[in-house]
Each structure stands twice: as structure tokens, then as C-alpha cells.
Amino acid sequence: MDKPFWPNRLPRALVVPESTLWFNLEVAARRYPGKAAYLFFGRSLSFAELRRQAEAVAGWLEAKGVKAGDRVLLYMQNCPQWVVAFYAIQRLDAVVVPVNPMNREDEFGHYIVDPQARVAITTADLAGIVMTANERVPAAQRLAHVLVTRFTDAMPAEVAPEEQPNAALLGWLMSDPPLPAGATRWAEALAASAPTHVPQAKPDDLALLPYTSGTTGMPKGCLHTHRTLMPNVIGGGLWGHASAETVSLGVVPMFHITGMLYNVLAPVYAGSTVVVLPRWDRELAGRLMSRYRVSHFTCIPTMIIDLFGSPNYKSFDLSSLRYLSGGGAAMPQAVAERLQTEFGLTFAEGYGLTETAAPTHANPPERAKLQCLGIPIFGVDSRIIDPETLAELPPGETGEIVTHGPMVFKGYWGHPEATKAAFIEIDGKAFFRTGDLGRRDEEGYFFITDRLKRMINASGFKVWPSEVELLLFKCPLVQEACVIATRDAYRGETVKAVIVLRDAARGNTTEQQIIDWAREHMAVYKVPRIVEFVDALPKSGSGKVMWRSLQEREQAVRPAA
């Protein structure tokens, strides 16, 4: 399908190098050895030092038995050590398994067992979760080694006042919980010798196994090779006018495919600098963008909304910003207009999934449309089809978005049937079924309208109701649970749990007790913000919970704004 609009400055397709992610770091370390790759509360990590540390950690991993193809868990909030560990794993031709640092013990065990990981790299604040989860899995499937770092390992001895986050965030960063028995300190790994293994990975070798959930069951690993990752590594820079002169604010989580692309992969390829924030702090973000003359900021709309909510936002100097992009949720029209009026900035939304290594669609910054997914990017063929008949639909009609492109994953780890179901063939090409409903206008821009998949989008975080339900069923108060989406003025959507209590809990259980239990057993963004108790859930003749009827009732009570 021809693209009615395409920026004249850009090629339609990319010539992707036949090289690997580790090679990208080798090149950057040679080209820009003394240049800051990452800035963390005022302390710089140069490209040469990034490579040196990655080689040392790779040496430690090799000594612990990690070899090519092995899966290694990476479980921490944004920090330079995340990047060091990522490239250390790549140095051994092994596979990175990024894990959401919001996950709790009940969730983490799946990431040990499913990818058959033997080593995890984490931070001190999360090490206890790793150890507890590890003790709960069968002995034969447990992790053999855990490497632990502290945030202070990459911070300056004293944080300058202008670099200091809020008190709660600073206290968390400076904390140093006891090292769990059997774990290894980061300093020991940094003291290791470089590995004897010579990198031999090929473009089609597995490099990354990020997990995504579906409508049923537990999260599934997405098979990404160097070849599926490189198109967006290169294309992202071209699309957004990035170069070695780029300075970006790295606050979108690195474990997430978008944060990984724009904070870990693309900057190393380009030789640019990332100012790292482990968690969102609007005051600090504003000061850092002003201080370091940040030129690129990939974010979610709620961050911009929060930044505008600061009493100090007019004092932030955002004049250096050239490219403001993001996705995960639509940017409200009023906020987009304020960005344009007050700062002359256009928010360029994009669209992609873990299965597509982040974007398949993006708004050209020079011709962006608001609340729009954008146009298919380099080498991408995207169609709108009838989800039932699979027939292609013309512009203006709503159907399922399907995508063929060089960044599409190779399938789900250990789930051949799910992989088969995820693709259809059109014109002799394999198209990935996104499960999202959308339409295409006459200029080739795509707009999302709904989801076929049962998913909640809370401030850009994808919440899969089936996963939350499986966790809620572990609660001793809960007999049955159905999780649906409800409107939220700030998050766009949030999580609601419709609960049938066990007989013994009826009459003496509050909604807050369910919420408190959930906070202890699942990532905070999955926790139901609203709980409703009912005597019974609606069910079909076959006994299946009719979640759609509950969802439709909720939408009638709380319609979209």
C-alpha cells in the first residue's frame, strides 16, 4: 500500500546493518570514548567506561556459567547499571529478559521459571523480592546467582542541590538494605576480568525476551533478534532528528520496550547523551531539562500533564527541546494546545507494541496530527481489516490494525499456538494481528478507536485483566473476581475489580482491604483503584464470566469524557 504522505527528508525503507547490539557499543566507545553516555544525578558515565564496565560484568557472568543463548533477568528501575548489565549480557551473546521492577514476589517467579533463567541482576531495594520468589519455585528451576547493585554505585558522593530529587525519592535512592545471603555485590562484578568468549552473534540470533500479556494466561516472552531490534534503533534517530549532539531525558522505564529503545539502544547507536531519572519527579525533570539543554524527550502524556501542574513550570527553560514524542495514551487536546502555544512544541504521538520492538507508526514531527497514531514507518505495511472476515477495509472504516515490518517479533517463547494465532497472511506476507481497532484516513494516518484484546491502558501501562484476576484469586477473601476498565480523569483508564467474596468474608470485609492486599501482591499500576462487591458475576450458559457485560455497564455509568 502506498503512503499518501511521507516526509521528503526520509527514505521509505532502511538498509539495516548486519551487526549486533554489542557492536553498536564497541563503535560508540571508539568514536566517543570520553563523551557522556549517561548522566545520573550529576555523575557522568562515558562511552569508554560503559564498555569497560560491561566487559567486566560480562566476565563475572561468564565465570558463573552464562553462555551464548542463556537468558539473564534484568530487574531494576532506570539507572546506568541497567545499561551496563544489558550490554554485558549482549557481550556474551546471551539474552536479556527485562522484568518490570513494579512486580512483586507472586509475579516474579514466572520470570524465573518460564525463560529458564539462572542469573538475575537487580538493585538492593528489589533483591528481597528476587530471593523470596526464588525460594518459592521448584528447586531445580531456581536462580543460581543474583548480582545486586545500589543506586549510589553510579551516583556522585554528594548530589548537588539542583540535581536533588524530592525527599522521598532521595531517601529511596540512598537506602542500602542488607545484601541477601548468597548474592554478589556490584563492585565484585566490576572488578572481574573481561570474558574469554569472543562475540559471535549473528543478526538472526535471539537478543531480547521482553514479556507481554495476552487475553488469557500468564505473560508470554516475545522473541526479538538483533535484526528485529535494529530497524527501530536506526529509524528512531532518523525520524526524530537525533544525532550524537542529542541530549535526552531518560525517564520512561528501561524495562519497557519504548524506554529500552529510546534510553538504551538508540542513544548508544547514535553516540548521544541520556540524562537518567529512575522515577518521575516533575520538579527535578524540569530542572534537568533546563540545566542540560535536553533536546529530546520521549514520555507519556501524564508526565506533561503533571509538569504543567507544577507551580514552577513557567520557570523551566524548555527552549532546547526539539522533539517531544510518546504514546501509550492519547494526548488531551487542551494539553497539546498549551504545549504549542506556550512552548512552540508539537507532541508527536506514535504507536507500537512489545511484539514490534516499539513503533510501527509515528507522527512526522513536521506534520503531526493530534490524538493520532501517525503513519507506518520505515518498511512497514499496515492495513485495516475486518476482524471476522479478514477482508481489507477502505480508508475511514474501523477494523483491526495488522502490521508487516522488519521490527515484528519472531513469535512467543514456548507458545507455538499463540504465535500461529498472532499472524495472518495477506498478499503473501505475514501480518501481525495487533488486537487494536482503528481506522486510516485518506492521507495514510492511523487512528485507534478501541481494542479487540481485553486490556486496560492506565497512563500508558498495559494492564491485562486476566493476569490481575489470577492474582486476586490468591487472596483469601476472594471467591471470584472480574477485572474491567473504568474512566479516570488523570490516568485515562484505571483498574476496577468486581468481587464475589468468600462466605466467611461477607459482611466483614471492606473494599480497602482488597486494595491493600493487592498492593502487597502485585505491581502498583495493576492494583484495582475501585472495588465493587457483588453477590454473583454474570455468566454465560457455559459458565464463562461475561466480563463484556460488566464493561459495557461501567462505560454507561462512567462514559468517556
Are the C-beta atoms of residues 321 and 349 closer than 8 Å to each other? no
Q: What is the DSSP string of 337-386?
A: HHIIIII---EEEEEEEGGGTEEEEE--TTS--TT--BEE-TT-EEEEE-
CA-closest candidate to residue 471, choices 525, 416, 548: 525
Task: Pick the last residue of a domain from 419, 451, 483.
Answer: 451
Residue 265, pLDDT score: 98
CA-closest candidate to residue 525, choices 467, 452, 450: 467
pLDDT tens digits, 61-85? 999 999 999 999 999 999 999 999 9
Residue 478 CB: number of other CB atoms within 10 A? 21
Please indicate, yes or no, if residue 170 is contained in any of the structural domains.
yes
427 has pLDDT over 80:
yes
Q: What angle do CA 4, 7, 12 make, to 5 degrees?
A: 75
- Do 198 and 87 belong to one domain? yes
| Mean pLDDT (whole number) for 245-264 | 97
Residue 542, pLDDT score: 56
- Do 212 and 235 belong to one domain? yes
- Do 434 and 527 belong to one domain? no
486 has pLDDT over 50:
yes
pTM for the whole structure: 0.88
435 has pLDDT over 70:
yes
Residue 552, pLDDT score: 86
pLDDT tens digits, 363-378? 998 899 988 999 999 9
Please indicate, yes or no, if residue 310 is contained in any of the structural domains.
yes
- Do 246 and 180 belong to one domain? yes
pLDDT band, very low/low/confident/very high, at 294 (cuts 50, 70, 90): very high
- Do 427 and 541 belong to one domain? no
Q: Which residues pair with residue 361 across a beta bridge?
A: 351, 376
What are the helix (H) ranges across 137-221? 167-174, 186-190
Residue 340, pLDDT score: 87
- Do 444 and 461 belong to one domain? no
- Do 446 and 500 belong to one domain? no
CATH number for 512 = 3.30.300.30
Percent of the chain with pLDDT over 70: 97
pLDDT band, very low/low/confident/very high, at 479 (cuts 50, 70, 90): confident
Please indicate, yes or no, if residue 77 is contained in any of the structural domains.
yes
Please indicate, yes or no, if residue 277 is contained in any of the structural domains.
yes
Which of residues 422 and 545 earns the better pLDDT score?
422
pLDDT tens digits, 488-531? 887 888 999 999 998 899 999 999 999 999 999 999 999 999 99
- Do 158 and 255 belong to one domain? yes
Residue 336, pLDDT score: 85
In this structure, the chain runs to a length of 561
Q: Among 247-261, 267-281, 474-488, which stretch is predicted with the lowest mean pLDDT?
A: 474-488
Residue 140, pLDDT score: 97
CATH number for 414 = 2.30.38.10
Kind plus residue range of the DSSP H or E element containing 333: helix 333-338
CATH number for 96 = 3.40.50.12780
- Do 32 and 181 belong to one domain? yes
Strand pairing report for 119-123 and 145-149? parallel
Please indicate, yes or no, if residue 10 is contained in any of the structural domains.
no
Domain of 438 in residue numbering reads as 378-451
Please indicate, yes or no, if residue 1 is contained in any of the structural domains.
no
101 has pLDDT over 50:
yes
Give Cα 286 to chain centroid, integer Å.
22
Residue 560, pLDDT score: 60
Strand, coil or helix: 74: strand
- Do 175 and 106 belong to one domain? yes
pLDDT tens digits, 134-148? 999 999 999 999 999
- Do 474 and 441 belong to one domain? no
| Mean pLDDT (whole number) for 422-440 | 95
Are the C-beta atoms of residues 273 and 116 closer than 8 Å to each other? no
pLDDT band, very low/low/confident/very high, at 561 (cuts 50, 70, 90): low
- Do 327 and 423 belong to one domain? no
pLDDT tens digits, 299-329? 988 889 889 888 898 899 999 999 999 987 6
The residues, any chain, with a CB within 8 Å of residue 238's CB and separated by 6 or more, are 10, 14, 378
pLDDT band, very low/low/confident/very high, at 234 (cuts 50, 70, 90): very high
Residue 545, pLDDT score: 82
pLDDT band, very low/low/confident/very high, at 1 (cuts 50, 70, 90): very low
pLDDT tens digits, 153-200? 999 999 999 999 999 999 999 998 999 999 999 999 999 999 999 999
Please indicate, yes or no, if residue 54 is contained in any of the structural domains.
yes
Mean pLDDT of the chain: 93
Structural domain count of the chain: 3
Cell 551487526 belongs to which residue? Answer: 19
Please indicate, yes or no, if residue 11 is contained in any of the structural domains.
no
Cα–Cα distance for residue pair 413/7, rounded to 1 Å = 37
Task: Pick the last residue of a domain from 362, 393, 417.
Answer: 362
Task: Pick the last residue of a domain from 330, 362, 394.
Answer: 362
**Phi first, then psi: what are they for 170, rounded to 5°?**
-65, -40
